[in-house]
Structure 1
Amino acid sequence: MQLKMKRRIREDQYDLLYPRYGKADVEQWDVTLLATLITELFPTSLQPLDIFLIKTEIRGTRNELQHLSSTSNMADADFDKYWGRLETAAKTLAKQVFNAKDEASFLKKMEFAKRNNLPNLGDCLRVWFEDNLNEVNSNTREMASVFKQVIAEIPGTSGDTKKRIKVVDNIFTKLQESFETTIKEVPARSISVKECADIRTKLRDKHHVVVTGSYNSSYTETAIAAVKGMHYDIKRSVEMSISLDWRHIDPENVDLVFCRNPFGSLSYDESKAKGIVDMFNNMIRTTKRNRPLDIVIVTDFQILKKLKEYHDHELLEEVVKVFGDTSETQPADLTLGCENHKVYSTYLPAVHNLGVLTSNYLKQHKISSLQVDKDVLKEAKGKFKAKKAIVLTGPRKCGKTSVAVALASFYKPCQCLLLTDPYDFKALDFQITCLVIIEDFTGKYCYDKKDVCR
């Protein structure tokens, strides 16, 4: 339960440990679940080398293979590399947990697993047709094998599994082509490296992520750059924008689904959003399969906010917000989601008073701030933009306050807060406040060591 609460194991993994019906089947546990249980429940029984082999070599190799487009087309050199890591780790662990007889048996099974492979499926059909045509009526196993090659299992809208004959799907082809076009046409410029890394982390851990931002924050470009860095097979990637597209996506043939503006392009579209939301349960199941499907949803923040007013879902929990570049004429919008600029947080009574105090402070010095020397303001803005913090110093009545208010004029009044006491810092609401002005930092009339230390 502690592992579940700490999100070390997922809900579906917990269900494998304690199924609602019947007994737990160890054969259904995946490598990640097994590795987590061993390392978390028996830490005192493991040496540092054991933990390294289990987490880094075995589970790490599994994760790398998980993101390959097709393991069946792996080059011999790559196979030898991956197999070598697994073989070394497995043999080292086997020496510690098996006796000589069991170790020998384990090594034989491992060697068999390496050399045993499935026959060519297409060739199976030819051989069957030539050699066993006359035995079809009496040998249902062969018939079942043939149908298995031409039937695909797809998830239904209610979570059940449906089967269909594999056919050429023109719409699926268009979804592939749309993704190829997006990859080529959307430039990977002005991207945020940090947010790009966050997107990849969520895809590796959760297999789904929502990338959002404002019109000038290049959130689509950042999502594309993150996807490129994951090295998905472009032929196994699709782009969708409406709910009907999901019906043409076969998880067996797709590794990545790129949902671009699925809830509306320029404004929130309830009819369009409702169709996508109805597919959410089905989409989240595909991210929890043995071979998971990765889903990236790209949408404007205000549209996402509107969606959450009517619909909420697990799929919308993993969100990465991308902020725009800053410039003198167009500072970054750090208030995504803060539409009501007149409302201050009220979890502390002092917050409202600070808002009123700041508003009057800015009004009082507004005229003098317009008279600040341009060179001084330019230098202050340059340092402030580079370091995100600046100390304004000088003799009394030299215009320090005017420069501070001039810098604050690049923000909305509700985004600024004047702090006159160190305790005021506890009243900050980082969802609203973007700029803090600390007046008389070192003391008002003389140096105040106590205030400085606080």
Structure 2
Amino acid sequence: MSDRYYRLVTFVINICPKPLRGLFISKAKQDKNTQYTTLKDYLVFRKQDIDTLKSRNKISTDQCDHIFPSDGIVDIQTWDITLLSALLRGLFKTELDCSEIRCIDEITTTRNDLQHISGTECIEAEQFDLLWENLKRAVLKLAECAGAPEKSSIEEEIKKSLTENMPNLGDVLRTWHKVLYIQLSLQNKKLEEELKKQSSKIRNVGATSAKSKTILLKASRKTQGRSV
């Protein structure tokens, strides 16, 4: 199979977000701090927490546009695994159980592994089978945790995606590269902030050193004696 890489990418883009969306809605409805009515109202209720995630470079401005769209119509179907995993970890950190966290980690780790593959033809059959099974296990477990009624349809979609053609590959790859861009942007922002912090520390150290030097010079300066 020469299209192993593309099938795995299609799995990540098309299938993995589905149980994550179901899990998000499930956790939102279980939130004891508010009465869940609509997704839009719930997001408004959690806006302060979402703004904090943005300020910490966990989500980007582009991703926020999907959470709070300008037309006010929230469509969770536009949320990819990068955004969903950030929101799930950021908003429901204490509500996620160990199995849910492991599944989310499995999906994001596999996604990251695919992003770091040097070439699309570098995936051997054994590696493909391992990555595929990891995604399949995580996706089906999350669908079960979220009580997703579409679990059986997800199972069928996984089976089809393994053998059938990929008619929407162009759309999948566009989304894939957009995800890469967003992740790189967030990483760059984190690096820029870290550099600013380091620069500030260096300036402070320089100022402290200069002050210490002045104090030492004053302390070591010889006192001239009075002439007789």
Q: Using structure 2 for the length normalisation, give the TM-score.
A: 0.53
Matched, 1:36 2:99: no
Partners of 1:318 and 1:6 lie apart in 2 by 10
Change in CA separation of 1:110 and 1:337 when aligned onto 2, cut-off 3 Å: same
Letter in 2 for 1:86: L
Asked which structure has the greater CA Rg, the reply is: 1
The answer for the alignment partner of 1:106 in structure 2 is 154
On the 8 A contact 2:106/2:138 being kept in 1, the answer is yes
Matched, 1:4 2:80: no
Deviation at 1:84, TM superposition (A): 1.3
The answer for the alignment partner of 2:215 in structure 1 is 357
RMSD of aligned C-alpha atoms? 4.0
The answer for the alignment partner of 1:219 in structure 2 is none
On the 8 A contact 1:31/1:62 being kept in 2, the answer is no
Letter in 2 for 1:92: K
Q: Using structure 1 for the length normalisation, give the TM-score.
A: 0.29
Q: Deviations over 1:118-175 (max 9, x none)?
A: 38x9xxxxxxxxxxxxxxxxxxxxxxxxxx9xxxxxxxxxxxxxxxxxxxxxxxxxxx
On the 8 A contact 1:65/1:71 being kept in 2, the answer is no
Partners of 2:150 and 2:194 lie apart in 1 by 48
Change in CA separation of 1:3 and 1:104 when aligned onto 2, cut-off 3 Å: same
The answer for the alignment partner of 1:64 in structure 2 is 113
Deviation at 1:315, TM superposition (A): 9.9
Counterpart pick for 2:67 among 1, 17, 20: 17
Deviation at 1:44, TM superposition (A): 4.7
Change in CA separation of 1:362 and 1:52 when aligned onto 2, cut-off 3 Å: farther
1:48-59 → structure 2 map (5 Å cutoff)? 48-54=98-104, 56-59=105-108
Partners of 1:363 and 1:75 lie apart in 2 by 74
On the 8 A contact 2:57/2:189 being kept in 1, the answer is no
**Paired residue secondary structure (2:150):** helix
On the 8 A contact 2:54/2:60 being kept in 1, the answer is yes
Deviation at 1:294, TM superposition (A): 5.9
Partners of 1:30 and 1:115 lie apart in 2 by 24
Letter in 1 for 2:111: R
Deviation at 1:316, TM superposition (A): 8.2
On the 8 A contact 2:66/2:75 being kept in 1, the answer is yes
Higher helix share: 2
The answer for the alignment partner of 1:291 in structure 2 is 180
Deviation at 1:109, TM superposition (A): 1.5
If asked which structure has higher relative contact order (CA below 8 Å, sep 6+), I would say 2
The answer for the alignment partner of 2:38 in structure 1 is none
Q: Deviations over 1:313-355 (max 9, x none)?
A: 969825669xxxxxxxxxxxxxx987xx8xx46xxxxx84x44
Q: Report how many residues are paired.
A: 157
Deviation at 1:91, TM superposition (A): 1.9
Q: Deviations over 1:181-225 (max 9, x none)?
A: xxxxxxxxxxxxxxxxxxxxxxxxxxxxxxxxxxxxxxxxxxxxx
In structure 1, stretches of 5+ residues that fail to align are 122-147, 149-251, 253-287, 296-312, 322-335, 346-350, 365-454
Partners of 1:115 and 1:46 lie apart in 2 by 34
Change in CA separation of 1:360 and 1:44 when aligned onto 2, cut-off 3 Å: closer
Matched, 1:90 2:139: yes
On the 8 A contact 2:57/2:190 being kept in 1, the answer is no
On the 8 A contact 2:143/2:151 being kept in 1, the answer is yes
Deviation at 1:48, TM superposition (A): 1.4
Higher strand share: 1
On the 8 A contact 1:16/1:24 being kept in 2, the answer is yes
Letter in 1 for 2:151: E
Partners of 1:362 and 1:29 lie apart in 2 by 66
Partners of 1:64 and 1:21 lie apart in 2 by 36
